[in-house]
Amino acid sequence: MRFYRDYCREHFREHFGEHASMARPPILELGCGTGRITTPLLKAGHTVVGIDLSQSMLIRCTERLRWAGRRVQGSSLLIRGDMRSLPLGGPFGLILCPFNAFMHLYRHADVAACLGEVRRLLEPDQGRFLFDVQNPDLRWLLRDPKKRWARTRFKHPVTGKTMVYSTNHIYDAKRQLTHIKLYYDCPEDPSAASTVSLAHRQFFPQELRLLLQTNGFTIESEFGYFDGRPFESDSETQLLVCRPT
């Protein structure tokens, strides 16, 4: 759990917060989830529209904003929707798509639809689109799917029980989809165990840049780490700042 808190702070402090401070309001966040980026943006004084397809995540985001206070709640709008067909108008000075949410666009048609909506909603000259995706690691993609990886013990934040986290995945090279399973086992209470399944589209660097170019975007800046280091072949992340062509 601490890893995710640190990851969120790093996202916000190093890039999202910096670009938000230079953007004209309001800000649109695609895949806002439970509000890990939404909340610090609002606390910093920005007006944010958050959109997510998951109703359960939006409920948790609403609860988080309620804890943050009335001022924060008054500067936010949460909408359930699909980033391929956004149910709102613009313009927005900054559109964010953090925490690898772009990797839930599984087909080229999905990518084109999303980027078309981003272009529609961005300010023509000053608007920027900022997002991050993983840089595909072939060694990780080709791991044995029968084994459990990344075993980590932690205390459940509600029950206090000891949990064991592990993961494995199957990589579909034809569609560039990674089908991931996250296991949460409880040695002292097996009935408390659960499994979460998700899929991520892998975007290889040159492919991603061609997709952006053919869908009307110019890459203004690209980074390989959230501390501002440039993108290299062994970087963990592809963090891109784009503007409409």
pLDDT tens digits, 46-56:
889 999 999 99
Residue 202 near residue 176, CB atoms below 8 Å = yes
pLDDT at 7: 46
Residue 46 near residue 27, CB atoms below 8 Å = yes
| pLDDT, the chain, mean | 88
pLDDT at 19: 56
**What pTM did the predictor assign?**
0.87
Grade residue 2 by pLDDT with cuts at 50, 70 and 90: very low
Residues contacting 4, CB < 8 A, separation 6+: 36
Percent of the chain having pLDDT more than 90?
Answer: 70
Comparing 60 with 73, which gets the higher pLDDT?
A: 60
170-183 average pLDDT score: 97
Pairing mode, if any, of strands 48-52 and 76-80? parallel
In terms of average pLDDT, the best of 80-84, 87-91, 233-237 is 80-84
